[in-house]
Amino acid sequence: MIAVLTWVLVLLALAIVVFCAVGALVARRPLTRLHFLAPITTIAVPLFCLGAALPTGWTLGTATIVAIAVVVAGGSPVLTAAVARALAADAGIEVGRSPE
């Protein structure tokens, strides 16, 4: 049962990555391409990590996998927003005041 669930999670994550990669290839503008990164980092990476953590049980390795998922899923929106602001400013789009 765990093996089947692991495969389902990994294949679902892989499908998300492939869909987003194709979308990023088709998109023309860098800001549009950036939108395709969000599902990979916030959905696919945690699914991959969950799929990797399930068969190993609760070990130190599992804690490492969970920590990686939390860092990537938690830090990605902040980094994406920073890159989007930089791309928009470079393109001459008004980005407003700095949030400092």
Residue range 11-58, pLDDT digits in tens: 999 999 999 999 999 998 888 888 898 899 999 999 999 999 999 888
Query: Which pLDDT score, from 0 to 100, does residue 8 have?
Result: 96
Query: Which pLDDT score, from 0 to 100, does residue 94 have?
Result: 79
Q: At what angle do helices 45-53 and 60-90 cross, to 10 degrees?
A: 170
Whether the Cβ atoms of residue 47 and residue 7 lie closer than 8 Å to each other: no
What H or E segment, with its residue span, contains residue 74? helix 60-90
Q: What are phi and psi of 98, to 5 degrees?
A: -70, 140
85 has pLDDT over 90: no
97 has pLDDT over 80: no
100 has pLDDT over 70: no
Q: How far is CA 26 from CA 1, 15, 42, 60, 88, in A?
A: 38, 17, 21, 41, 20
Record the pTM: 0.80
